[in-house]
Amino acid sequence: MTAQIEPMTAQIEAPGQDASELDWLLFEQEGVLSSGQAAALLGRGKSRSAIARGRWRQLCTGVVVTHNGPLTVGQTHWAAVLASGRGSVLAGRTAAHTGGLRLGEPGPIHLLIPHDRRYSDRRRQLPPDMPPVVVHRTTHLPEQDLQRGRPTRTTMPRSVIDAASWAASDEQARLTVAAACQQGLATADEIRAVAAGMPRAPRRALVLETVTDAEGGAATLPEIEFSRLLRRHRLPPPELQHRREDATGRVRYLDAYWRLWRLQAEIDGGHHLDAPRWEADMRRQNDVWIAGDRILRFSSWQIRHEAHQVAAQLRAALETAGWHANGDVRPPQ
């Protein structure tokens, strides 16, 4: 084989029709190779020469990148997978972000391998300009939970469940699940189907509860926490994200609406600190009052930290409108 070693940048262009096997492998793996791949397709002497002359870069024992510049995100993923050995796949929050989840920074590179698969811990030798790499083992990794690609990763429903399992807190776990559902990346049924095969997954109950809330119309984490608050205090469930036209004919969505008792609850997040939006919310609130409905407003902080007070005010408003905990209903006042 007479492949030529040329300096390369981090971006790998698609090969032409007469491309070699090496060219295609470089394209598919974004210029990152195992030493075995490089030796098999180029020859051990030429690959070592490319590293010695500074054209290629040794990322760790057994993994090289065919340029000497900064690494792209995709190249860090390939380096982590190749360094962790056969069977490694992107997983958790890393796989979810790769699949399109928009939720802050992806953080460390999370990998998943079968529990009985041996692997070299060369990942600890990876250079400091790469994110940390965390390897998780699993006894349950069926083919349907994998999305073959560059490199292979877990499917979005499986990624969401794993990300929730490995999250630093329950709140972060709920936020990940809610974001995936809200952004249309995974449905409640898809997540439930994968969770059915993972009965011992950490936070499994929390994941299932969160997708049920999302399925019922709760679109944000405060709304999901609000739904949990209502269940915990045995208050009647409202319509979430109720569609309604204001006085100008513009379509608005009410966070929570009890139609029978003509009661609305609004959950104010950080965006209510913005003056123009605050004024728009006040106009909407006035429209609600003019139409004859009651409206209560709570901040997301109150829902998290003053749940009993929130529940007490909701209970008082519902009872004033005719609701009774025993199920009897009087006409709204």
Mean pLDDT across the chain, nearest whole number?
82
CB 31 within 8 A of CB 22: no
Percent of the chain with pLDDT over 90: 39
* Res 2 pLDDT > 60: no
Paired sense of beta strands 239-245 and 153-154, if any: unpaired
* Res 173 pLDDT > 70: yes
pLDDT at 164: 97
pLDDT at 328: 54
pLDDT at 270: 43
Mean pLDDT score, 247-268: 78
Dist. CA 52–CA 61, nearest whole Å:
14
Both tokens of 99, joined, read 């699949």
Both tokens of 320, joined, read 């004033």
pLDDT at 242: 65
Looking at mean pLDDT, say which of 6-20, 39-53, 113-127, 179-193 comes out highest.
179-193
Dihedral class, residue 9 (left if φ above 0, else alpha if ψ from -120 to 50, else beta) = beta
Q: For 7-21, what is the HEC assignment?
A: CCCCCCCCCCCCCCH
Enter the CATH code of domain 221-321: 3.40.960.10
Both tokens of 96, joined, read 């979810």
Paired sense of beta strands 57-60 and 63-65, if any: antiparallel
Split at pLDDT 50, 70, 90, the class of 15 is low
Mean pLDDT score, 283-301: 71
pLDDT (tens digit per residue) in 125-155: 788 889 999 999 999 999 999 999 889 999 9
Split at pLDDT 50, 70, 90, the class of 271 is very low
pLDDT (tens digit per residue) in 177-200: 988 988 899 999 999 999 999 999
Dist. CA 250–CA 247, nearest whole Å:
7
Q: In the chain, where are the structural domains located?
A: 74-215, 221-321
Higher pLDDT, 328 or 28: 28
* Res 3 pLDDT > 60: no
- Count of Cβ atoms closer than 10 Å to residue 301 Cβ: 12
pLDDT at 205: 93
Higher pLDDT, 263 or 275: 263
Split at pLDDT 50, 70, 90, the class of 14 is low
pLDDT at 93: 97
Among 10-14, 226-230, 253-257, 258-262, the least confident range: 10-14
Type of residue numbered 106: P
- Residue 124, CB half-sphere, CA atoms under 13 Å: how many? 3
Percent of the chain with pLDDT over 70: 78
pLDDT at 182: 83
- Count of Cβ atoms closer than 10 Å to residue 162 Cβ: 27
Query: Shortest CA distance to 110 belongs to which of 148, 80, 86, 79?
Result: 80
Dihedral class, residue 231 (left if φ above 0, else alpha if ψ from -120 to 50, else beta) = alpha
Both tokens of 168, joined, read 């630093």
